[in-house]
Amino acid sequence: MQTSVSPTPRPRRDGRGRFFREYGWAYLFILAPVLLFLVFTLYPVASAFVMSFQQYKVMGSTWIGLDNYSRMMTDDVFWKSIRNTVIFTLATVPVNIVITFVLAYLIFQMKNKAQTFFKATLYLPAVASGVTISVVWLAIFDPTDSGLLNRFLGLLGIDPVIWLGQSGTALFSLILMNWLGSHGAGIILYLASMGGIPKSLYEAADIDHASGWTKFARITWPLLKPTTLYLLVTGIITSFQVFISVYLMTQGGPNFATTTIAYLIYQTAFQFYEFGLASAQSFVLALLIVIVSVLQFKAFSSDVEY
């Protein structure tokens, strides 16, 4: 079923010319992105890395070795922010993938017109700016009994909850907002890949009287792995870097209950002007994400080539 015929790199036979004929195109194809990357991404990242060993001052920084890193390690708030970020990520990314997948799967069963309708409407929230969305969510989480969510709870006979104002519910509120946020992009990607799965595979399975579950586990899920991996990795990156909803909704409060690493980095850099420390925090965050991503690649990409 898998037609794994990826072009295996042939051994170099007659030196440089051969090498160029073999791979020159590939290098040329990635040349522009890599050049842009070197100038506009790698250079700033490298500068930030240098900064993480300095006390940054615009007129002349001082080298302070690992001070920023040790200060960070002894800071309670930093550890709290790691904890919050990990909780947020664990609670959102897998659930979002499931929601996205289920919605895409449901849509895939529809007729063409209905597919179009649902794809379009589910993608639409992505076009609204973060500010607009947060205004609406602030109204939903309004702590008084006139708040939308509280009015709903009132119908069920439950007392109003101060959603964003107490440590117990604040982080959960942000998670809830994320669950109900936009899944349109993921749905579109899943649908594109689902459409790419050859019908013949299912027909063959039907002949073998395979159950729905078997078809899902043997055909649909494995063939959607590249998409799932992409959604997982980018989902983890964005959720580890979750900033804007914290900034607009809770500003890290109450009592650091919603302070994420990205928010802490923002505070360190722009409220306290400690750019060196902020850089150190960023590189620890990046390391964390890289480790998680490598694990995901290991778990997902071994058998996706076909």
Partner 1 sequence: MKKTGWLLSLAMLVGVTTACGGGGGSNAAGPEDKDTVTVWTYPVYGEYESELKERVAKFQDEHPNITVQTEMLSWSEGPQKFDVALNAGNPPDLYFHSVDGTYVDTGLALDLTPYMTDDIKNDYLPGTLELAQIQGVQYGLPLYQFQWGWGGNKRILEEAGIDWENIQSEGWTWTEFKEAASKLTGKTADGSPQYALVTDGSSLDFIEMLSRNNGMPDVLDDAGKFQWNDERILDTLSFIRELMDSGYVPKETAALDPTKRTDMFYAGQAAIISKAIPYYDVMLAARNKDIDAGTVKGEKIDFVYLPVPHNDNAPAKTTTGGEGYVAFKQKNDKGEQHAENTFMVMEYLSDAEAGNASNELALPFVRKSQQEAFAGKELGTETTLSAAENMAENAELPVTLKLDAALAAKQKQFKEQVVKPNMQALYSGEKTPDQIAEEFKSKGSQSFGQ
Partner 2 sequence: MQSKKIMLAIAAALLLAWTVLTIVPLYWMLVGSLQDSAASASFRPSMIPEALSLAPYERFFAKTAAWRWLFNSLLVSSVLTVTNVFFASLAGYAFAKLKFPGSNAIFWILLSTMMIPAQVTLIPLYILMVNTLQLQDTYTAIILPTAVSVGNIFLMKQYMSSLPTSLIHAARIDACGEFRIFWKVILPLAKPGLAVLAIFTFVASWNEFFWPFLITSSSDMRTIQVGLASFVFAESTDFGAMMAGATIGALPMMILFFSLQRYFLQGITIGAVKG
- Residue 256 touches partner 1, criterion: CB under 8 A: yes
Amino acid at 189: L
Among partner 1, partner 2, none, residue 122 binds (CB under 5-8 Å by kind): partner 2
**Could you say which residues in the range 18-47 bind partner 2, by CB under 8 A?**
22-23, 25-27, 29-30, 32-34, 36-37, 39-45, 47
Size of the chain, expressed as the number of residues it contains: 306
What one-character DSSP code corresponds to residue 255?
T
280 near 68, Cβ under 8 Å?
yes
Contact with partner 1 (CB under 8 A) among 70, 116, 251, 301: 251
**Could you say which residues in the range 58-97 bind partner 1, by CB under 8 A?**
58-59, 77
- Residue 5 touches partner 1, criterion: CB under 8 A: no
Phi/psi for 54 (5° steps) reads -125, 160
279 near 48, Cβ under 8 Å?
yes
Closest contact distance (angstroms) between CB of 47 and partner 2 is 4
What gap in Å lies between CA 295 and CA 279, rounded to an integer? 24
Amino acid at 98: V
119 near 111, Cβ under 8 Å?
no
187 near 103, Cβ under 8 Å?
yes
Whether omega before 254 lies within 30 degrees of 0, making that bond cis, reads yes
In 3D, which of 174, 175, 168, 164 has the Cα closest to residue 141?
164
Contact with partner 1 (CB under 8 A) among 13, 271, 298, 302: 271
Binding mask 74-113 for partner 2 (x = CB under 8 A): -----------------------------x--xx-xx-x-
Closer to partner 2 by Cβ: residue 95 or 148 = 148
Among partner 2, partner 1, none, residue 253 binds (CB under 5-8 Å by kind): partner 1
Closest contact distance (angstroms) between CB of 294 and partner 2 is 8
Place of tokens 């040790």: 70
- Residue 122 touches partner 2, criterion: CB under 8 A: yes
Contact with partner 2 (CB under 8 A) among 76, 195, 208, 271: 195
What one-character DSSP code corresponds to residue 56?
-
Taken in order 108, 113, 116, 119, is the CA torsion positive or negative?
negative
What one-character DSSP code corresponds to residue 181?
S
Contact with partner 1 (CB under 8 A) among 2, 62, 116, 255: 255
Closest contact distance (angstroms) between CB of 127 and partner 2 is 4
- Residue 17 touches partner 2, criterion: CB under 8 A: no
- Residue 181 touches partner 1, criterion: CB under 8 A: no
- What would the two tokens of residue 168 be? 């117990």
- Residue 226 touches partner 2, criterion: CB under 8 A: yes
- Within 8 A by CB and 6+ apart from 281, the residues are 72, 78, 261, 264, 265, 268
Closest contact distance (angstroms) between CB of 19 and partner 1 is 17
- Residue 120 touches partner 2, criterion: CB under 8 A: yes
Binding segment toward partner 2, per CB under 8 A, in 5-13, 86-94, 167-175, 251-259? 5-13
Interface positions with partner 1 (CB under 8 A): 28-29, 31-32, 35-36, 56-59, 77, 138, 141-144, 146, 160, 162-167, 251, 253-256, 267, 270-273, 275
